[in-house]
Amino acid sequence: MIRTVFKNFVSPRATRPYPIEVRPAFEHTRGELENDVSGCTFCGVCAKKCPSACITVNRKEKTWRLDPFSCVYCGICVDACPGECLFHTTDHKKVVLHKIPVVLTKEDPGLEKPEPGPA
């Protein structure tokens, strides 16, 4: 036991002083769901495949609507997207005061999809 006590004095700490030190995200982490609308055709495949029905696409009005609070971060829509414009960032959703859905139209600048890194 004495050995363990002395070992604990010299060993580095097991915890991280969050939020001063934040662990960098892993490359394949499924964080927030984003749509690079410049490549979106509003085909609605993502809405059909989504198991939690958090995406709604209006093909006539060309709007893409996401309820990020219903999203389960499974990544099915990202795999299914024929235009490959859906992607997950590596950041987790921030805390918010009001649950506002994300509505994107063709005119929105949107977020550009990052280039894939080395595997």
Which token pair is 60?
């006539």
* Rounded least distance, CB 104 to another protein, Å: 23
| φ, ψ of residue 104 in degrees (nearest 5) | -120, 140
- Residue with Cβ nearer another protein (8 or 100): 8
* Rounded least distance, CB 102 to another protein, Å: 20
- Residue with Cβ nearer another protein (52 or 103): 52
Check: CB of residue 51 under 8 Å from CB of residue 1: no
Contacts with another protein by CB under 8 A lie at: 14, 26-30, 49-52, 72-76, 79, 88, 119
- Residue with Cβ nearer another protein (9 or 26): 26
- Residue with Cβ nearer another protein (40 or 50): 50
Measured from the Cβ of residue 113, the count of other Cβ atoms closer than 10 Å reads 16
* Rounded least distance, CB 109 to another protein, Å: 26
d(CA 58, CA 66): 12
Strands 63-66 and 86-88: unpaired
* Rounded least distance, CB 10 to another protein, Å: 15
d(CA 79, CA 27): 16
